[in-house]
Amino acid sequence: MQVLVTGASGFVGRACVVRLAMAGHSVREGVRGGERKLELERVNSGAGFAILGDLGAKPANLGNAFKDVEVVVHLAARVHDMRGAVSSEEYRRVNVCGTEVLARAAVEHGTRRFVFVSTAKVNGELTVERSFSEDDPANPMDPYALSKWEAEESLRSIAVETGLEIVIVRAPLVYGPGVRANFLRLMRLVDLGFPMALPNTNNRRSLIGVGNLADCLVRCVTHPAAANQTFMVSDGEDVSTRGLVLRLAPLLGRTARFLPVPEAVLRLAARLVGKRSAINKLLGSIEIDSSKIRRTLEWEPPITLSCGLEATARWYLESFGRLA
**Active site positions, annotated:** 144
Instruction: Check: CB of residue 233 under 8 Å from CB of residue 206.
Output: no
Q: What DSSP assignment string belongs to 170-232?
A: EE-EEESTT--HHHHHHHHHHHHT--B--------B-EEEHHHHHHHHHHHHH-GGGTTEEEE
**Phi, psi torsion values for 96, nearest 5 degrees:** -100, -60
Residues ≥6 apart with Cβ < 8 Å to 163: none
Three-state secondary structure of 110-124: CCCEEEEEEEHHHCC
Helix, strand and coil content of the chain, in percent to the nearest 5, comes to 45, 15, 40
Instruction: Check: CB of residue 30 under 8 Å from CB of residue 54.
Output: no
CA of residue 167 relative to chain centroid, distance = 15
